[in-house]
Every structure is written in structure tokens, then in C-alpha cells.
Amino acid sequence: MKNYKIQLFSFVITLFIFSCTSDDVSDVTVDDTDDSNEVAVVIDDTDFEAIDWTEATHSKDVDPNISEVFEDNTVKRLDFVITEERWQTMLDDMENLYGTFGGSSAGGPGGAGGPGGAGGPGIVTTDIDEDPIFVPGEVFYEGKEWYRVGLRFKGNSSLKSSWEAGILKLSFKLDFDEFEDDYPQIKNQRFYGIKKLSLKNNYDDSSMLREKVATDVFRNAGLAASHTAFYTLYVDHGDGPQYFGLYTLVEEVDGSVLDTQFSDDDGNLYKPDGDAASFASGTFDEDEYVKKNNEDEADFSDVQSLLTIINDGTRTSDPEAWRTSLDAVFDTDIFLKYLAVNTVVQNWDTYGRMTHNYFLYNDPATSKLTWIPWDNNEALQTGKMGGSLPLNFSGLTASQWPLIGYMYQDEVYKEKYDAYVEEVINGAFNESTIQALYTSYAALVEEYATSEVSGYTFLNSSSDFQSAVSQLKSHATSRKAAVSAYLN
């Protein structure tokens, strides 16, 4: 932190000197139109030198340094510095989107300053389509500064619930060259080769382990998925660094995941959201197959073909021909393995219960749509909204969720799914292995989790943390029994 304080002090002094320099009045705007006769001085902050910039740490011309950014066995620290005015702009924008901070008394998580407690958190749905605004801020890590990084709050129901509960431990999205047009010094700025990151606030997770462990399991099963790591976050928005708590840093799919886990990142990447995300017959809607790249190309033929084929009548009249057609456009092996992992670990907040929280990538190496899991903070529990799907998908309406329902009804695909279920419970989600991982991660993060402060935590007490870890271990045992009963 010594280097951080020196750089911050230097930055403030530079701004003060700059604001007092009369030779460059074009960069200073004086607004004296307010009836209160207060004079507001707006300082142009574009005149700076990126002194910490190196090719390895800041440039686009290096491969993503995954081992630096996503270490499994340590808790690293990030600092944000956001001017008081920009921070207030972020808060005002949130109020416009979600209402008064702390304005709800029901359904929120526990923790000082927020409702909930014994009743537990609820799921708050929202139809707000607009993301919170980005503002430029400084990011400090390991004694180095990243300049005018795009920072904004992120999330959906978790963001709304946290805000309404009066808890400022909010999730953030970081885009390192979001403001490159305003600040040419940061053109193509990267964080060790990475453009975008998410800092997840571990909402509704007293263990603060679920996002990390679930993503580990997907990746250990051989699936493409984000890397994750534990970080503490401090934010200085005018009064010095404030501990915002323990977060999970998540690699963005529309960034280094494609760069590092696929041979080519030029294929269409979709983040479906809405009725069309179910792939039920008659739901096709380009607006709901949200493109994360290639936006200017109005070509949705790949997702349209998948929807058409999965619902085609040859499924029952000629299953072999149906499978051949489906295999040509959709990586069914990847999906069945994903489905096995997702159902074994239990993850309700995604396809099968909810029409969101996954990506589809048209991998140029195969010309097939490939399934990529996303947003796993609700995994590793029975869950809400009807709970996680059972291993045999009983109760699922096949026509409503045809990628699961129709494929599971096919004897060839069901046999593959069953084999993957057995592989997962003996491998990536082996009971003893996963319980050892819980023990290791809990010991790693406990001091940071239980030292979160009032107004910036979802914990009611430090005992909530250990209780949640114990529940995770019991869950692993119960899932072993459930898989054994299903397979036998």
C-alpha cells in the first residue's frame, strides 16, 4: 500500500497544481450559474502519463497471464480509486435504476444494515434491461496502477437485492480500455493481457466458496469455463480505502476465455436471455440471442438451426437422422457432459429452470455451437424456484426445455449422459476430493470473510461462514448417495 499511497498523493498534487495553472484555462471550466453562488471547478484529467505501463502488465500484445491473475491458493488484493463526484454519479444512477439505497425491508440477505436474517434471502426478479453506468477509475494491484479503467456495478437480481438491503458490497465489472477514446494513453490497456473481468460479491453465499468451487468442477471435468480466484477489494471514493469485502474474480467469457480455451475467437458468441433461451418451439427471437461479438453481422442462422432441429419431428420418426442433424450444429457431447456436471453439483439458476446464465459459442474449429456455463453463485445447493433438477429430470416439461427433455428421452444421448454422471461423481466431484477442497479454500479465505464490516457483508455473524462450509461438505455426501441411487 505504500506505493499506492505515494502514487495517489502524487496524482492529487498534480491535479491541484494543474487546477491552479492559469496558462491553460481552456482545460478548466468554471460554472457559476448555480443560484447558490457556489463555484464548481471541473478539471480535465486527460493530461497524465501512464508511468506504470509495461508490455507484460498493461499491453494487448501479450497472451493472458492466467497464472498471475487467477491463483487458486492465495487471496490477492485489488484497490479502486474513484473520485467522489464519479462515485456519486454511480450511486445516483443506481437509485434511478433500483430506487432508494436500503429501501426494502423484505427478501434481502442478512448482515448489518440489511434485512433478512433468519428468514433467509429471497429471489428478486427484475425486468430492468439497462446496465449501470461505467465511470473511469484507477485500479491498483501489487504496487502497479491501471489508468482510467471502466468500472461499473453489475448483476441482476443479486444487484437489486444487495442495493435494496442497504449493503454496498456490490459486484463490479471492469473493462480496462472502456475509456480509451477519452484517454489515448490507455489505448488497448489490459490487465496482464485481459480486457474484461467481473468481481462477484458472493451474494447469498455465506461460505463465499460456491462460485469458485462450481467453476473449478466444470473446468476439472474438461469443460470450457471461466477461471476464478479470491480477492479482497478496497475502494477509495474520497475518504480513503474502505474494505468492501471478499470477492470472487471471474474471467469474462467474451474475453480471455475464448482467447485461451478455443483455437479461434472469431465465431459467434451468444448470451441468450429470455424465452428464446429455452429453445422451445416458436420462441425464436434474435433480440433474445444477445450477441457478444460480430454484432454488425445480422446472421443468427446457427442458433435458429439449433432451435429448428431440436424440435424437428424426425426426433421420433427417425431418431438416427435427428441425431445426425443435431450433432452437425451442436456439440452434443459437450452439452451432455455439462448437463451431467450441472445436475450432479446442483445448479438451479440456469437452463432447465431459468432462461439465462449460459453462453453459446460457434467454435470455428468444429462449426458447432458449444455450451459454456456462467454465473455459478447459486450452485452446490438444492436451490430455489422449484429447486435444482433431479438427475432423471422428472417433472421437467420436455417441450419447454427441449435441449434437456428431448435429448434425455433419446436412448443414445441418455446413455452418454449417464456415463458422464458416473464420471463426474468419481472424478471432478468425488466426495473426498471436493470435501478436501472445501477445507483448503475455507482455511484460505476465513480471515477475510469473517472480517467483513457492517454495511459491506451478507454475514450476520462469523459463525455463518463455518456453518455454510459444513453444509457444503454435507451436500457433497448427499450428492454421492443421490448419484448412486440414480445409476443403480
Region label for 273, one of left (φ > 0), alpha (ψ between -120 and 50) or beta (otherwise): beta
Last residue of a domain, one of 198, 232, 261: 261
Q: Is the domain of 245 the same as that of 281?
A: no
The confidence score (pLDDT) of residue 432 equals: 97
Q: Is the pTM of this model over 0.75?
A: yes
Cα(275)–Cα(284) distance, rounded to whole angstroms? Answer: 8
242 and 305 part of one domain: no
Count of domains forming the chain: 2
Domain-embedded: residue 451: no
pLDDT for 147: 98
Q: Which long-range contacts (CB under 8 A, 24 or more apart) does 211-215 make?
A: 211/248, 211/250, 211/376, 211/377, 211/379, 212/248, 212/441, 213/380, 213/434, 213/437, 213/438, 213/441, 213/472, 214/345, 214/347, 214/376, 214/379, 214/380, 215/250, 215/373, 215/376
Phi then psi dihedrals of residue 298, to 5 deg = -85, 55
Domain end point (choices 426, 452, 471): 426
Q: Are residues 15 and 143 in the same domain?
A: yes
Based on the fold, state whether residues 244 and 340 are members of the same structural domain: no
Is the residue at 68 inside a domain? Answer: yes
Q: Which domain holds residue 146?
A: 2-261
297 and 255 assigned to the same domain: no
In this prediction, residue 113 carries a pLDDT of 35
**Rounded Cα gap, residues 422 and 420, in angstroms:** 5
In a domain, 471, yes or no: no
**Co-location of 242 and 369 in the same domain:** no
What pLDDT is stored for residue 107 in this prediction?
Answer: 40
pLDDT of residue 156: 86
- Residue 78 in domain: yes
- 445 within domain boundaries: no
Q: How far apart are CA 42 and CA 30, in angstroms?
A: 7
Residue 265 C-alpha cell reads as 475467437
Q: Do 114 and 131 belong together in one domain?
A: yes
Same domain for 49 and 181, yes or no, is yes
Angle 362-364-367 from CA coordinates, rounded to 5°: 65
Rounded Cα distance between 206 and 120, Å, is 11
Is 411 a domain residue? yes
Chain segment 252-303, per-residue pLDDT in tens: 999 899 999 999 999 999 999 999 999 999 999 999 999 999 988 889 999 9
Note the pLDDT of residue 385.
86
Dump pLDDT digits (tens) for 105-130.
444 343 333 323 323 344 444 556 78
The predicted pLDDT at position 298 comes to 83
Does residue 69 share a domain with residue 98? yes
* pLDDT tens, N- to C-terminus, the chain (488 residues): 444 444 444 444 444 333 343 333 334 333 444 444 443 434 579 999 999 999 999 999 999 999 999 999 999 999 999 999 999 999 999 999 999 999 874 443 433 333 233 233 444 445 567 899 999 999 999 999 999 999 999 998 899 999 999 999 999 999 999 999 999 999 999 999 999 999 999 999 999 999 999 999 999 999 999 999 999 999 999 999 999 999 999 999 998 999 999 999 999 999 999 999 999 999 999 999 999 999 888 899 999 999 999 999 999 999 999 999 999 999 999 999 999 999 999 999 999 999 999 999 999 999 999 999 999 999 999 998 889 999 999 999 999 999 999 999 999 999 999 999 999 999 999 999 999 999 999 999 999 999 999 999 999 999 999 999 999 999 999 999 999 999 99
8 A C-beta contact, residue 268 and residue 115: no
Single out the residue of 286, 292, 303 nearest to residue 266, CA to CA: 292
Averaged pLDDT score across all residues of the chain: 89
Judgement on whether residues 153 and 216 belong to the same structural domain of the protein? yes
In this structure, are 367 and 296 located in the same domain?
yes
User: For every residue of the chain, which 3-state class applies, written as one string?
Assistant: CHHHHHHHHHHHHHHHHHHCCHHHHHHEEEECCCCCCCCEEEECCCCCCCCCCCHHHHCCCCCCCHHHHCCCCCEEEEEEECCHHHHHHHHHHHHHHHCCCCCCCCCCCCCCCCCCHHHCCCCCCCCCCCCCCCEEEEEEECCEEEEEEEEEECCCHHHHHHHHCCCCCCCEEEECCCCCCCCHHHCCCCECCECEEEEECCCCCCCCCHHHHHHHHHHHCCCCCCCEEEEEEEEECCCCCEEEEEEEEEECHHHHHHHHHCCCCCCCEEEECCHHHHCCCCCCCHHHEEECCCCCCCCCHHHHHHHHHHCCCHHHHCHHHHHHHHHHHECHHHHHHHHHHHHHHCECCCCCCCCCCEEEEEECCCCEEEEEECCCCCECCCCCCCCCCCCCCCCCCCCCCHHHHHHHHCHHHHHHHHHHHHHHHHCCCCHHHHHHHHHHHHHHHHHHHCCCCCCCCCCCCCHHHHHHHHHHHHHHHHHHHHHHHHHC
Looking at the structure, tell me whether residues 245 and 273 fall in a common domain: no
Burial 68-94 (b: 16+ CB within 10 A, else e): bbbeeeebebbbbbbbeebbeebbebb
Q: Decide which of 399, 426, 453 is a domain's last residue.
A: 426
Q: Is 478 within the bounds of a domain?
A: no
In a domain, 352, yes or no: yes
